[in-house]
Structure 1
Amino acid sequence: MIQLNEISQSVLACGVDIPKVMLVEDDPVTRWMVRSALKDACILSIVSSSDNFMIKYKAVNQYLSFLPDMVLLDIDLTPADGKDLLLDIMLIDPDAYVVMFSAHNTEENIRKTIEHGAKGFITKPFEKNIIQQYIDDALLWKTKNF
């Protein structure tokens, strides 16, 4: 995985199409798991905050500047709410490819997030390959729709 601040101009100049993924997650263990799952598969922008009251603000600003191919968004961003952040992102970009994830895979959580525009839902803990599959799906979806 290439961290956002490690992107060289030469990679960008070559026209290499590396998927951009934005992770919004407050748990350091889950951030580490996603990092290790993706390795060098994408450019990863991580939004986290020791002050979770700021995480929604940071995430919206990062979305606007990074313009990711896919967003991995935790539902439980205590005290923020990932479902509210999903709505904010969808207002900014109705075509955003957002995949929610949570250990709380209740039918209501899944239904509400899909109704609000999420393209998928990953249950924690997750298999490493599921994230890569969603990245592939996001790129295919963007190819078909744009």
Structure 2
Amino acid sequence: MGNRILIVDDAAFMRMMIKDILTKNGYEVVAEAADGQQAVELFKEHAPDLVTMDITMPEMDGITALKEIKTIKSDAKVIMCSAMGQQAMVIDAIQAGAKDFIVKPFQADRVLEAISKAIG
């Protein structure tokens, strides 16, 4: 149906913020991960339609996790989440296959716009 989402962020507060925006707008959050390694495992397990991926995380960063997910499913849809001042990493992420990126702190309309654009 195009609305099952995996949220990946090492900050529980950020995951909660995104989850709140998504569930209020009819999206189903199938799983949440606190680092890139967990994200890859959960992606294999749940096969979500879309992943929101933090860039800076312990264990495995978001760009590495993005590349791993792309090897599992080449057309996986991933939106990167970054703090201000991470432009170089955002460019790396887009080159690695991210569909879009959203900047923290999240604005609901921007999150929803990025997701609907990525899912199509």
Q: Match of 1:89?
A: 69
2: CA distance, partners of 1:21 / 1:122: 15
Gaps of 5+ in 2: none
Moved runs in structure 1, 4+ residues, more than 3 A?
none
Look up the SS of the partner of 2:74 in the other structure.
coil
Q: Deviations along 1:66-93, whole A, 9 cap, x unmatched? A: 1111100000112421111111011111
1: CA distance, partners of 2:2 / 2:90: 29
Look up the SS of the partner of 2:75 in the other structure.
coil
Q: CA deviation at 1:114?
A: 0.5
- 1:72 aligned onto 2:57: no
Gaps of 5+ in 1: 1-16, 50-54, 141-146
- AA of the residue aligned to 2:16: W
2: CA distance, partners of 1:80 / 1:70: 19
RMSD: 1.7
Instruction: Give identity over the alignment, percent.
Output: 29
Matched residues, number? 119
User: Which one has the largest radius of gyration?
Assistant: 1
Q: How does 1:19-98 map to 2 (within 5 A)?
A: 19-40=3-24, 41-49=26-34, 55-98=35-78
2: CA distance, partners of 1:105 / 1:121: 13
- 1:137 aligned onto 2:117: yes
